């Protein structure tokens, strides 16, 4: 997931959810004035800039961070300004000392489902916040994309390339009560006024090409470029077997691919 240009063109689902969730939950967030903000897992920087800043008119400083050097390079080239900067940071790693207790608000959109050491990442988010600061995090629970990856990983053709598939499945994909699990973890770390919601969502792609681009933009597996098209064809074959593809006869035989998934929305204060 290092191709910023592709990601920027094919992240409509992620952008829609970030915007919708911020709109819906803005009332619950205790907003501060002249704030310092961190956006964890900022990717290409477009959500940090276009969405987060809309909700933060009094923002003194916003720092977007991501594990990918290529994404950060792209974000700095395209979106950095006097108040906005981007830096490489692995939220699962050790925090630089100077970042501790630096921020009033921490946001994270569509990142934490890639993180295996959940408690370590959440503790880091807690440590990034000043006393009285808060975090607003959205990430995936159950998502059919992970089922398709698992099915591909069981096939003879792809088992070698996708051998570490479970490294890339959301820790909450198979959970019964992820909201309770996360609330318990956040309270244990020390967060207060914790609210976690597990919310069913749906997104429609209007062509198979759009699905392929969206999958390619987030594909975490290291496979040679020349195998990508074949992998995406096989991905679509499984989506077809899962009966997620419909033809809309009212609209000149338009292809409709519906994906139903569950989003985790978490808020906590320090
Ligand atoms: C940074 O963005 C992400 O992590 C987003 C993810 C993992 C979900 C992207 C959703 C896609 C590609 C749709 C999958 C389509 C299906 C028909 C299952």
Residue nearest to atom 3 of ligand 1 (CA): 110
Query: Residue 251 has what pLDDT?
Result: 64
Rounded distance between C-alpha atoms, residue 90 and residue 113, angstroms: 14
Calculate the CA 195 to chain-centre distance.
19
The segment with the largest mean pLDDT, out of 39-48, 112-121, 244-253, is 112-121
Residue 250 in this model has a pLDDT that exceeds 80: no
- Residue 253 — pLDDT band, cuts 50, 70, 90? low
Q: Is the ipTM of this complex over 0.85?
A: yes
Index of the ligand 1 atom closest to the CA of residue 143: 18
pLDDT in tens, 186-208: 999 999 999 999 999 999 999 99
Using most ligand atoms within 8 A of CB, pick from 214, 235, 263 the residue to mutate for ligand 1: 214
Q: What is the model's pLDDT at position 26?
A: 84
pLDDT value at 59 more than 90: no
What pLDDT band is residue 263 in, cutting at 50, 70 and 90? very high
Question: How confident is the prediction for the chain on average, in pLDDT?
Answer: 93
Ligand 1 center from residue 261 Cα (angstroms): 10
CB 90 within 8 A of CB 148: no
Supply the pLDDT for residue 252: 64
- Residue 144: its pLDDT value, please? 97
Residues lining ligand 1, Cβ inside 6 A: 13-14, 43, 110, 140, 143-145, 148, 211, 214-215, 218, 239, 244, 257, 259
Among the ranges given (57-61, 119-123, 125-129, 146-150), the one the predictor scored with the smallest mean pLDDT: 57-61
pTM for this predicted structure: 0.95
Mean pLDDT computed over 255-266: 94
Residue with the smallest CA separation from ligand 1 atom 4 is 110
C-alpha of 3 from chain center: 15
Tell how far the Cα of 52 is from the centroid of ligand 1, in angstroms.
21
Q: 211: CA distance to ligand 1 center in Å?
A: 9
pLDDT over 90, % of the chain: 79
Exposure string of 145-179, with b = 16+ CB inside 10 Å and e = fewer, is bbebbbbbbeeeebeebbeebeebbbbbbebeebb
CA of 215 to the centre of ligand 1 (A): 6
pLDDT band of residue 95 (cuts 50, 70, 90) is very high
- What Å distances lie between residue 127 and 12, 90, 100, 215, 255, CA to CA? 31, 14, 5, 33, 46
pLDDT of residue 171: 98
């Amino acid at each position: 997931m290092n191709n910023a240009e592709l990601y920027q063109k094919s992240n409509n689902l992620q952008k829609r959810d970030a915007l919708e969730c911020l709109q819906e939950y803005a009332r619950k967030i205790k907003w501060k004035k002249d704030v310092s903000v961190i956006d964890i897992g900022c990717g290409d920087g477009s959500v940090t800039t276009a969405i987060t800043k809309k909700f933060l008119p009094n923002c003194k400083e916003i720092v977007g961070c991501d594990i990918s050097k290529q994404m950060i390079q792209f974000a700095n080239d395209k979106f950095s300004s006097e108040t906005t900067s981007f830096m490489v940071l692995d939220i699962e790693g050790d925090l630089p000392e100077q970042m501790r207790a630096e921020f009033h608000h921490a946001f994270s959109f569509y990142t934490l489902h890639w993180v295996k050491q959940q408690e370590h990442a959440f503790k880091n988010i807690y440590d990034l916040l000043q006393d009285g600061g808060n975090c607003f995090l959205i990430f995936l629970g159950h998502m059919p994309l992970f089922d398709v990856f698992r099915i591909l990983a069981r096939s003879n053709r792809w088992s070698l390339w996708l051998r570490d598939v479970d490294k890339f499945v959301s820790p909450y994909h198979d959970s019964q009560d992820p909201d309770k699990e996360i609330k318990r973890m956040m309270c244990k770390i020390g967060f207060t006024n914790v609210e976690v919601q597990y919310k069913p969502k749906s997104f429609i792609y209007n062509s198979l090409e759009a699905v392929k681009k969206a999958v390619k933009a987030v594909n975490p597996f290291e496979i040679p470029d020349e195998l990508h098209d074949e992998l995406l064809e096989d991905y679509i074959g499984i989506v077809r077997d899962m009966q997620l593809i419909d033809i809309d006869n009212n609209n000149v035989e338009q292809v409709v691919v519906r994906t139903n998934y569950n989003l985790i929305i978490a808020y906590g204060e320090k």
